[in-house]
Chain A
């Protein structure tokens, strides 16, 4: 135990100076003091690999922007650098949120899927707008949606709490699964029928499975989410 000659207090740490007035402490007893708090660690920054990836991402983006600008008036009159930018963003979200993140698994998959859809639409809409046939809206998005919906549904049968966490996500995803068929019926954006129809069928299956096997959980989830 030490004593501060200025503040007239005893100090029960290994400090040499008083924590209040910073005067040098007098040793009073040889009572041993254990360190009662862990030492201050300097804040850990990003590791070297992450820094390299950040640098590579920035350089790729700047490089593609410059390339896009140079080639724009030489036969490539589109914004292809957007594909690079969105690809980089997608990669970062995939790594940081979906793979390394610790949120609810189904939410991570849902958000990654939504980002993937945005990426595909941007690739077609902004960059490759000269194409007449939209391969992503006709094939990739409806089939991707089917895959995600069925895999989450399968996961929910393994553990009940995964289902409880995924109810709202599944419900929203199932309802969004009808968009391709609606677009097929009302617009000329999606001329191909079978992928959109498959997506709608899977959505109906998911909704029916939820209601048949998990009606009480769905009801309780809606009560929780909508309580006022």
Chain B
């Protein structure tokens, strides 16, 4: 039987505190089918998926010392997608559910509040919804464990806080990091978020990355940084560090099956205070960071930095309203100010072969906020790599810079957007 309530995991604790209209702390997963969505099956599909993923069937409650999740007995509302992306997760609406399932034409999308899960856990849940939806529309699908359905046992370790499980007080905390240069420009009104999808062939991309003797994540990361260097960073601001925040799936480093948050990160601190930097120079900076930071020891140090504060007795006994003030200040100075831009690569999406004939592509995007107005995310499904920019800035120089570099490297790109400029 599912638990009646859950403590928030270590990474989740910050999100209810910083949630606002400007920063909904959510991410979005979409699946584009070959046929139009038959919305009458979605409610039932979601109900089935929620049985398998009870940590998503919760509402946020306030305790005296911490927030917690309590089982939600209501039914979530499924709606046709609205134009304003990343604003469908409302903590006090949708019967208290912290995700929002929407459909539009052939696209089924879910926006998930980050306190519930990270991209990997969210994708497991979303794949289960898509699976049940297709089953309910009469499709026959043989699942060989790619999808966590109700037929696959639910394990207690899936709902555990793996940050606490892998905490080792003997390891030294991660050190301080420099403040980051912030992208600035005119923003869209009404908290609008522009989505720009760049679709390309993953094999072509792999080939290009191999030519540079690097991985896809490093290559794309370098393209983003190169574009910032070329088009966004004024010469007089080149003294500031440009920090690319890259979430890392910690399940790969620590034996974990969690469907909750278990994501760590690395930051590339690029010193652009040199003239005539080439793409290769920047790529080398990125490669160097990955080499140094992407180790189990460094990841463990990050866990220790995050968890040690939560385990401090004096922090624990502070009433929630005081904690909230401290956490907001801490996040503004130690979290938000450290990032120029984020890039998250969710990797390859694996689904049963029978499902593949009904699904064109998956998309993944990160919400952006005032301090990091552009964020980038990518996902690979079959031979298609979809890179999505979510931007609050009207200016698209940075995206053009990335596209120019990729086109220069002979990648053929198909662009799709949510087209605000046409209307305004």
Q: C-beta contact mask, A23-62 vs B, less than 8 Å → 1, else 0?
A: 0000000000011111111010000000000000000000
Given A12-B415, A35-B105, A40-B424, verify A102-B92 contact (CB < 8 Å).
yes
Assembly CA distance A178 to B106 (angstroms)? 60
Binds A, one of B58-66, B278-286, B339-347: B58-66
Cβ of B224 to closest chain A Cβ, rounded Å:
15
B414 at the interface (CB under 8 A from A): yes
Pick the residue among A7, A16, A37, A225 that contacts B83 (CB under 8 A).
A37
Distance in Å from the Cβ of B408 to the closest Cβ of chain A?
A: 9
- Tell me the count of chain A residues lying within 8 A, CB to CB, of chain B: 35
A10 in contact with B66 given A20-B400, A41-B83, A228-B316 (CB within 8 Å): no
The listed residue (A19, A40, A226) touching B415 by CB distance below 8 A is A19
A12→B4 CA distance, assembly (Å): 46
Using known A-B contacts A11-B414, A227-B7, A227-B68, determine if residue A19 contacts B396 with beta carbons closer than 8 Å.
yes
Q: How many residues of B contact A (CB 8 A)?
A: 51
| Alpha-carbon distance A18/B342, docked complex (angstroms) | 25
Question: What residues on A are CB-neighbors of B423 within 8 Å?
Answer: 39-40
* Contact yes or no, B400 A41, CB < 8 A: no
B-contact bits for A192-228, CB 8 A (1 contact / 0 none): 0000000000000000000000000000100011111
Is B63 a contact partner of A225 (Cβ separation < 8 A)?
Answer: yes
Nearest residue, chain B, Cβ from A102? B93
Chain A, residue nearest B102 (CB) = A38
Shortest CB-to-CB span from B93 to chain A, Å, is: 6
> Across the interface, which residues of A come within 8 angstroms of B106, CB to CB?
34
Question: How far does the Cβ of B9 sit from chain A's closest Cβ, in whole Å?
Answer: 14
Q: How far apart sit A88 and B65, CA to CA, in the bound complex (Å)?
A: 35
Of A7, A12, A34, A226, the contact of B403 (CB 8 Å cutoff)? A7
Contact, CB under 8 Å: A10 / B414: yes
Chain A residues with Cβ below 8 Å from B70 are 164, 224
| B407 close to A13 (CB less than 8 A) | no
The residue in chain A whose Cβ has the minimal distance to the Cβ of B63 is A225
Main secondary structure of the interface of A (DSSP, over half): loop
In whole angstroms, what is the CA distance A17 to B418 when docked? 13
Judged by a CB distance under 8 angstroms, whether A70 is at the interface is no
A-B contact number at CB 8 A: 108
Cα A64 to Cα B95 in complex, Å, equals: 40
Say yes or no: A36 contacts B105, CB within 8 Å. yes
Name B401's closest neighbour in chain A (CB-CB).
A20
When A9-B403, A19-B396, A34-B105 are in contact, do A41 and B82 touch as well, CB less than 8 Å? yes
Interface residue? A8 (CB, 8 A): yes
Q: Please, how many angstroms separate the alpha-carbon atoms of A10 and B70 in the complex?
A: 47
A37 CA to B416 CA in the complex, in Å?
A: 10
Chain A residues lying within 8 Å of B85, measured Cβ to Cβ, are 37
A37: B residues at CB distance < 8 A: 81, 83, 85, 104, 195, 417-419
Cβ A39 vs Cβ B83 within 8 A: yes
Interface membership of B141, Cβ < 8 A? no
A17 to B419, CA, bound (A): 10
> Does A103 count as interface, using CB distance less than 8 angstroms?
yes
Tell me whether B63 and A10 are in contact (CB under 8 A).
no
**Interface membership of chain B positions 35-79, coded 1 if the CB is closer than 8 angstroms to chain A and 0 otherwise:** 000000000000000000000000001011110101001000000
Residue of A7, A17, A227 near B400 (CB, 8 A) is A7
Given A10-B412, A35-B105, A41-B83, answer yes or no on A15-B419 (Cβ-Cβ < 8 Å).
yes
The complex places the Cα of A95 from the Cα of B222 at a distance, in Å, of 54
Q: How far is the CA of A125 from the CA of B104 in the complex (A)?
A: 57
Chain B residues positioned under 8 Å from A8 (CB to CB)? 407
State whether A13 and B82 are in contact (beta carbons under 8 Å apart), knowing that A225-B64, A227-B65 are contacts in the complex.
Answer: no
In Å, the complex CA distance between A97 and B404 comes to 52
User: Contacts A20-B415, A161-B73 hold; do A40 and B317 have CB atoms under 8 A apart?
Assistant: no
- From A9, A15, A39, B407 is in contact (CB under 8 Å) with A9
* B422 in contact (CB, < 8 A): yes
Which residues on B sit within 8 Å (CB–CB) of A35? Answer: 105
A7 touches B424 (CB 8 A): no
Chain A positions within 8 Å of B32 at CB level: 36
Confirm or deny: A21 has a beta carbon within 8 angstroms of a beta carbon on chain B: yes
Within 8 Å of chain A (Cβ to Cβ): is B357? no
Query: How far does the alpha carbon of A36 sit from the alpha carbon of B412 in the complex, in Å?
Result: 21
Is B142 in the interface zone, CB < 8 Å from A? Answer: no
Chain B residue nearest to A4 (CB atoms) is: B415
CA distance A43 to B188 in the complex (A): 13
Which chain A residues lie closer than 8 Å to B403 at the CB level? 7, 9, 20
Q: A10-B412, A10-B415, A220-B4 are in contact. Are A15 and B422 (CB under 8 A)?
A: yes
List, in ascending order, chain B residues with CB within 8 A of A21's CB: 400
Cβ–Cβ contact A40 & B83, under 8 A: yes
B355 smallest CB distance to A (angstroms) = 21
> Closest approach, in angstroms, between the C-beta of A216 and any C-beta of chain B?
10
**CA gap between A40 and B400 in the complex, in Å:** 23
| CB-defined contacts of B82 to chain A, threshold 8 Å | 38, 41
| A43 interface neighbour in B95, B190, B407, B420, Cβ under 8 Å | B190
Q: Which residue of A lies closest to B85 (CB)?
A: A37
Given contacts A36-B107, A102-B93, contact A10 B413 (CB under 8 A): yes
Can you name 25 A-B residue pairings with CB atoms under 8 Å?
Answer: A7-B403, A9-B198, A9-B407, A9-B415, A12-B416, A15-B417, A15-B422, A17-B421, A19-B396, A19-B419, A20-B396, A20-B399, A20-B403, A22-B421, A34-B105, A36-B416, A37-B195, A39-B83, A40-B419, A102-B95, A103-B92, A161-B73, A224-B68, A227-B65, A228-B317
Q: Contacts A161-B73, A224-B63, A226-B64 given; 10 further ones with Cβ under 8 A?
A: A12-B415, A19-B196, A34-B106, A37-B81, A37-B83, A39-B423, A225-B64, A227-B63, A227-B65, A228-B316
